[in-house]
């Protein structure tokens, strides 16, 4: 009897201690420090910053987690010694090879992962195997490759002694699951089996489920979608789901996934948001104010640790904002906004005030950006511009003119403004090559910035680490010739 009562005392003491810790915020602090805010660093841009400038930008803004879409050697070399945690990516197109060949999978791990995981190297934490491979619009073409690729890569990681540290994940689009109410969430019927295999694999290897969630696209694609439900400022269109009330699309979407995971037996699976953000241009709902309000609301919501109705107090493990920089060479098939997701413009300048919750109150701009000279190409006002349509078409099919269209920041600068904008975009894309401002004599170079209001006429940046239009510089060609003669010599010698 005495011993059991002293045990009760011990338990009460422990309980008291826990309560004191909770009260003083100690436990909350622990939970707080585990929610990471990272960014996606995509590089589909015609004006690329040097990787070293981007890594410095990340450090200046205390961003400690970055998600890549590949494993570009220049980028990874620059991340060496930075202390930044990295998710590298394997493009969908590589899944066929990696899923069918352990040699290919070993080679990938050796060349693109283990090589960098040395002292003072790159802190690679995740490998994203494919990017949204189950997207409805891919019509199932990558579907059967994902799990075999995971199995091969897991073995390759084990052989490289990295399996305990580097986790395999599969970023999924939120179209992998559906439901009108969050609690009814389920994976698409044709994905149920594959998702069960995938999630069981993730679970047994300690990997999170990675999902990309885009309230902007819900709003953009659906004129009935209540605008205020996309944001975090409260809504007059709350969704009532049994005892739970949802006041923003993010929570509703997140819990739909939680319900879908629960349905296949993995309700506790940790979730990482692989992409989330709001574009600033290229559509009526894409503007600076909306992007700031969405991203800031999201960050405060995540950092409040409130979680969602189905996961109270458990926010996502990490979120990766989409995106760090604008990518002016992305396909505009989904819409013109595709080129304008950055919290920074292509040249690393903050677009709006944003507190990432990482220590700085505001974003800091990139330092030491190397711009081309301050000059622009515009339409010569003394010329007759009636025959300019073809020039414009060619300029805009090569360069980015998305801001000119309806909903863009340069829509409304007039016919002559349109022409000048197109000419300048092309001229900067061609690294200000003087012939590229000719347009049969209709263009002229100016030293006066033609930007008007929010419509910015850009000046390109120089990315001296990669060669431009002329792929072989003279010394490069010379080296290639020498190498070819050496190889030819070896071949002749061996015969």
- Of 414 and 441, CB closest to ligand NAG: 414
In this chain, which stretch among 31-39, 69-77, 243-251, 431-439 interacts with ligand NAG, using CB under 6 A?
69-77
Residue 287 binds to ligand NAG (criterion: CB under 6 A): yes
In the complex, residue closest to ligand NAG by CB: 285
For 29-97, where are the E strands, in sequence order?
36-41, 65-68, 85-90
Is-cis flag, bond preceding 7, omega within 30?
no
Residue 145 binds to ligand NAG (criterion: CB under 6 A): no
- Of 91 and 206, CB closest to ligand NAG: 91
Neighbours of 448 (CB within 10 A): 9
Neighbours of 155 (CB within 10 A): 15
For 36-157, where are the E strands, in sequence order?
36-41, 65-68, 85-90, 123-129
Binding mask 93-122 for ligand NAG (x = CB under 6 A): -x----------------xx----------
Shortest CB 32 distance to ligand NAG, Å: 30
Residue 178 binds to ligand NAG (criterion: CB under 6 A): no
Shortest CB 219 distance to ligand NAG, Å: 6
- Of 51 and 307, CB closest to ligand NAG: 51
* 251 burial via Cβ count (<10 Å: 0-12, 13-18, 19+): buried
Nearest to 269 by CA among 198, 368, 199, 170: 199
Shortest CB 288 distance to ligand NAG, Å: 8
Check if 327 is active-site: no
- Does residue 154 sit in helix, strand or coil? helix
Binding ligand NAG by CB under 6 A: which of 43, 46, 71, 420? 71
- Of 53 and 287, CB closest to ligand NAG: 287
Residue 217 binds to ligand NAG (criterion: CB under 6 A): no
Query: In the block, which residue shows the tokens 């919750």?
Result: 357
Residue 418 binds to ligand NAG (criterion: CB under 6 A): yes
Residue 53 binds to ligand NAG (criterion: CB under 6 A): no
Q: How many alpha carbons lie under 13 Å from residue 364 in its C-beta half-sphere?
A: 17
In this chain, which stretch among 18-26, 68-76, 170-178, 268-276 interacts with ligand NAG, using CB under 6 A?
68-76
Q: d(Cα 234, Cα 227) in Å, to the nearest integer?
A: 11
Q: Are 420 and 379 in contact (CB under 8 A)?
A: yes
What is the phi-psi region of residue 192: left when phi exceeds 0, alpha when psi lies from -120 to 50, beta otherwise?
A: alpha
In this chain, which stretch among 26-34, 57-65, 408-416, 443-451 interacts with ligand NAG, using CB under 6 A?
408-416
Check if 190 is active-site: no
Neighbours of 358 (CB within 10 A): 15
Binding ligand NAG by CB under 6 A: which of 22, 245, 415, 490? 415
Residue 221 binds to ligand NAG (criterion: CB under 6 A): no
- Of 90 and 259, CB closest to ligand NAG: 90
Residue 312 binds to ligand NAG (criterion: CB under 6 A): no
Binding ligand NAG by CB under 6 A: which of 70, 121, 148, 357? 70
- Of 177 and 278, CB closest to ligand NAG: 278
Size of the site for ligand NAG (CB under 6 A): 19
Residues 30, 33, 38: CA angle, nearest 5 degrees: 160
Q: Are 327 and 45 in contact (CB under 8 A)?
A: yes
Q: Please state, in angstroms and as integers, the Cα–Cα distance from residue 224 to each residue in 84, 188, 253, following that order.
A: 41, 23, 17
- Of 69 and 177, CB closest to ligand NAG: 69
Nearest to 71 by CA among 116, 119, 105, 132: 116
Q: d(Cα 232, Cα 487) in Å, to the nearest integer?
A: 62
Binding ligand NAG by CB under 6 A: which of 285, 292, 303, 358? 285
Tokens at residue 148, please?
Answer: 């075999």
Query: In Å, how far from its chain's centre is CA 489?
Result: 47
- Of 105 and 287, CB closest to ligand NAG: 287
Q: What are residue 179's phi and psi, to 5 degrees?
A: 165, 155
Residues in CB range of 452: below 8 A, 6 or more apart: 410, 413, 417
- Of 161 and 227, CB closest to ligand NAG: 227
Dihedral sign, Cα of residue 143, residue 148, residue 154, residue 159: negative
Shortest CB 216 distance to ligand NAG, Å: 7
Q: Considering only residues 378-407, where is the footprint of ligand NAG by CB under 6 A?
A: 404-406
- Of 187 and 229, CB closest to ligand NAG: 229
Neighbours of 267 (CB within 10 A): 13
Per annotation, catalytic residue among 64, 233, 275, 338:
275
Nearest to 103 by CA among 155, 32, 163: 155
Q: d(Cα 456, Cα 413) in Å, to the nearest integer?
A: 11
Binding mask 237-276 for ligand NAG (x = CB under 6 A): ----------------------------------------
Residue 461 binds to ligand NAG (criterion: CB under 6 A): no
Shortest CB 423 distance to ligand NAG, Å: 13
Binding ligand NAG by CB under 6 A: which of 33, 180, 236, 289? 289
Return the active site residues.
132, 275
Q: Which residues bind ligand NAG (CB under 6 A)?
A: 70-71, 73, 90, 94, 111-112, 227, 285, 287, 289-290, 404-406, 411, 414-415, 418
């Amino acid at each position: 009897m005495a011993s059991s009562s002293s045990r009760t005392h011990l338990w009460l003491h422990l309980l008291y201690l826990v309560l004191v810790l909770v009260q003083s915020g100690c436990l909350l602090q622990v939970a707080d420090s585990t929610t990471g805010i990272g960014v996606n660093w995509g590089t589909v841009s015609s004006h690329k910053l040097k990787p070293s400038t981007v890594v410095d930008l990340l450090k200046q803004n205390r961003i400690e987690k970055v998600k890549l879409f590949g494993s570009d050697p220049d980028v990874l070399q620059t991340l060496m010694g930075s202390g930044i945690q990295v998710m590298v990516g394997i493009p969908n197109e590589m899944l066929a090879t990696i899923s069918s060949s352990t040699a290919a999978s070993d080679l990938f791990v050796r060349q693109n992962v283990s090589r960098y995981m040395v002292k003072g190297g790159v802190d690679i934490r995740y490998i994203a195997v494919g990017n949204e491979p189950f997207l409805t619009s891919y019509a199932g073409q990558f579907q059967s490759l994902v799990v075999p690729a995971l199995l091969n890569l897991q073995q390759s990681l084990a052989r490289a002694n990295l399996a305990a540290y580097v986790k395999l994940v599969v970023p999924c689009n939120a179209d992998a699951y559906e439901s009108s109410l969050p609690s009814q969430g389920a994976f698409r019927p044709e994905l149920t089996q594959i998702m069960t295999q995938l999630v069981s694999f993730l679970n047994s290897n300690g990997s999170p489920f990675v999902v990309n969630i885009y309230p902007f696209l819900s709003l953009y694609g659906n004129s009935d979608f209540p605008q205020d439900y996309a944001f975090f400022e409260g809504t007059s269109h709350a969704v009532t789901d049994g005892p739970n009330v949802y006041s923003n699309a993010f929570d509703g979407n997140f819990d739909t996934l939680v319900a879908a995971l629960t349905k296949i037996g993995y309700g506790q699976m940790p979730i990482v948001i692989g992409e989330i953000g709001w574009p600033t241009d290229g559509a009526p709902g894409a503007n600076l104010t909306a992007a700031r309000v969405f991203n800031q609301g999201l960050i405060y919501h995540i950092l409040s640790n409130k979680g969602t109705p189905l996961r109270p107090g458990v926010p996502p493990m990490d979120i990766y904002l989409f995106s760090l920089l604008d990518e002016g060479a992305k396909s505009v098939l989904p819409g013109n906004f595709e080129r304008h997701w950055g919290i920074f413009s292509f040249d690393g300048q903050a677009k709006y005030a944003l507190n990432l919750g990482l220590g700085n109150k505001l974003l800091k701009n990139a330092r030491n950006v190397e711009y081309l000279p301050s000059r622009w190409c515009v339409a010569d006002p003394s010329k007759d511009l009636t025959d300019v349509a073809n020039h414009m078409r060619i300029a805009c099919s090569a360069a980015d003119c998305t801001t000119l269209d309806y909903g863009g920041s340069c829509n409304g600068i007039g016919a002559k403004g349109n022409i000048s904008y197109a000419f300048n975009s092309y001229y900067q894309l061609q690294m200000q090559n003087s012939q590229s401002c000719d347009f049969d004599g209709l263009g002229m170079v100016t030293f006066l910035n033609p930007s008007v209001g929010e419509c910015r006429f850009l000046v390109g940046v120089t990315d001296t680490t990669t060669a431009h239009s002329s792929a072989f510089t003279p010394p490069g060609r010379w080296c290639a010739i020498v190498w070819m003669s050496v190889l030819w010599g070896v071949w002749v010698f061996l015969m």
